[in-house]
Structure 1
Amino acid sequence: MTRAIALLLAMLLGVAAPAMAEQGVIEQLRLAVPASHRELWLQAEASSWQPWLEQQSGFEGRQLFWDPQREEGLLLIRWSSREQWKAIPAAEVERVQEVFEAQVNQALKRDPAAGPLFPLLAEGELQVQELPSR
């Protein structure tokens, strides 16, 4: 009850209460995506990761970007909270990644032993920040 009152007061007074209010988080992934396989990457993302993500608690949406000079994909995945995102079992994530890679390999008639066509280059998280009011 005290926390709810403090949050209400903070909102009414326009005071940020970052320690009290749960903030959203953005999962950030960078992948190698060759120009010759950009469309395949998008198709595999749409048919494997997107439906799975839409079923996850706390998933708010995502954006995919492609850098043609570096031939890299950037995925920004929005979560309501870090706790909801990190509560997803690693085995679940690995299972969806296997589905993604199987779709890619099947489309290209590619040997799975060759490794991922779109290797992960970097991963991280971005915390949502609120600007202080004037």
Structure 2
Amino acid sequence: MNCRSLSRLISFVLSFLVMLSGHPDVAIAARHDPDGGDDVAVVEHLRIKVPAHAREAWLKAEQGSWEPWLAKQSGYLGRDIFWDAEQEEGILLIRWASREQWKSIPQAEVDVVQARFEQLAREATGQASSHPFLLQFEGELVPQ
């Protein structure tokens, strides 16, 4: 296993531990870049209400909206998506190279992607007017 693969595995395990802890103030360690420096400056942390019966619809809406858009953003390093069966919540940990790159994304762009996500979610769940996946928490984690 090369250093980059090991680094990604460690990042995934740490992200999973954050999700299991259930505490929004837990910070994760940065992934070390073998070429020098740490490549994660901040982790966007989101919790979304996702009823068990709509879990697949939520994932499909994520894949059709946020996933391709995020991949094109400057500073985006990747994300981990979890589902907490007990709380019926989706947990997203989105890694950014810098807080400035993350926060420099125009709100109008975010709103367009959110509208697409909501459209796909309504189609996948059969809900014509209401939004099936409500944001429960939005925060950020800083490597220590």
Q: Tell me the TM-score normalised to structure 2 length.
A: 0.70
Alignment CA distance shift 1:22-1:49 (3 Å): closer
Question: Superposition pairs for residues 1-134 of structure 1, below 5 Å?
Answer: 24-112=41-129, 114=130, 116-129=131-144
Cα distance, 1:23 vs. partner?
Answer: 6.0
Deviations, residues 21-67 of structure 1 (Å, cap 9, x unaligned): 99610000000000000011111101110000000000000000111
Query: Which secondary structure does the structure 2 equivalent of 1:64 belong to?
Result: strand
CA displacement at 1:109 relative to structure 2 = 3.2
Q: Distance in 2 between matches of 1:92 and 1:99?
A: 11
Asked which structure has the greater CA Rg, the reply is 1
SS of the residue corresponding to residue 86 of structure 2 reads coil
- How many matched pairs? 107
SS in 2 for 1:125: strand
Cα distance in 1 for partners of 2:126, 2:49 equals 20
Kindly report structure 1 stretches of 4+ aligned residues shifted beyond 4 Å: none
Deviation at 1:96, TM superposition (A): 0.3
Aligned sequence identity (%): 53
- Superposed CA RMSD in Å reads 1.5
Structure 1 portions without partners, runs of 5+: 1-20, 130-134
